[in-house]
Amino acid sequence: MQHSFEHARRLSRRMGKAVAVALVLLAILSVCIVVLAFVDPLWLSAHLTRTYAPPTAFAVSPLQSALFAGVFAAQTGLVGWALWALGRAFDAIAANDALTAESGLWTRRAGLGFLAAAIVMILSHPLNTAIMSIGAPPGSRFISVAFPAGEFLALIVSGALIVFGHVIAVAVAIDEENRGFV
């Protein structure tokens, strides 16, 4: 049994490091994308045209660039916070027994963060298409709704993390209760 706990700690340390690398990469890529969007509006226009296929030619205004950056910041901010919480859960597992109240709490928080990020990503599609049609003449405005498989998967995984966090908390409470009997 001790070998299993040591293996879980070692794996959690590795996963914590992987999450830290992912956070750094997310931050670097996010800054690069936002800077590129403001420096090269043609790049942003081409990207949005490929992604959303507007019915008319599309050129990004400074207001639209700022609004797109805000939506993107909300998405990446929530994903970043969820990754940070997941890293804290791995750190708690690596530092203690695998099942602690702290690891359960951070696992549940990571799940809630990923759930919020998935919801924002689902809502960002119609929001981004509405932003694209700002300034378009009447009859040319549009909105598009989509529910891609990636967002559906994010909802499922976030729900699993929330449930696992709750299960860990219940297991810790049962373990503490059992120790009281002995």
pLDDT value, residue 59: 82
pLDDT value, residue 21: 97
User: Which candidate, 36, 111, 18, 104, places its Cα nearest to that of 72?
Assistant: 36
- Mean per-residue pLDDT, 86-97: 88
Residue 2 has pLDDT above 70, yes or no: no
pLDDT value, residue 124: 93
Domain segments of the chain as ranges: 2-181
Least confident of 39-48, 52-61, 99-108, 119-128: 52-61
Instruction: Give the burial class of 127: count Cβ atoms within 10 A of its Cβ; 0-12 exposed, 13-18 middle, 19 or more buried.
Output: middle
**58 or 14: which carries more pLDDT confidence?**
14
pLDDT value, residue 98: 66
- Mean per-residue pLDDT, 75-91: 95
d(CA 145, CA 163): 29
- pLDDT band with cut points at 50, 70 and 90 for residue 49: confident
pLDDT value, residue 139: 79
Angle at 139 between CA 138 and CA 145, to 5 degrees: 110
Q: Which two tokens stand for residue 116?
A: 């919020």
Tell me the per-residue pLDDT of 8-37, one tens digit each, with 9 for 90 and over. 888 989 999 999 999 999 999 999 999 998
pLDDT value, residue 71: 95
Of the ranges 16-30, 138-152, 165-179, which is most confident? Answer: 16-30
**5 or 82: which carries more pLDDT confidence?**
82
Q: Across the chain, what does the average pLDDT equal?
A: 89
Residue 1 has pLDDT above 70, yes or no: no
Residue 72 has pLDDT above 90, yes or no: yes
Torsion sign, CA atoms 71, 44, 125, 66: positive
pLDDT value, residue 45: 87
Angle at 98 between CA 108 and CA 21, to 5 degrees: 65
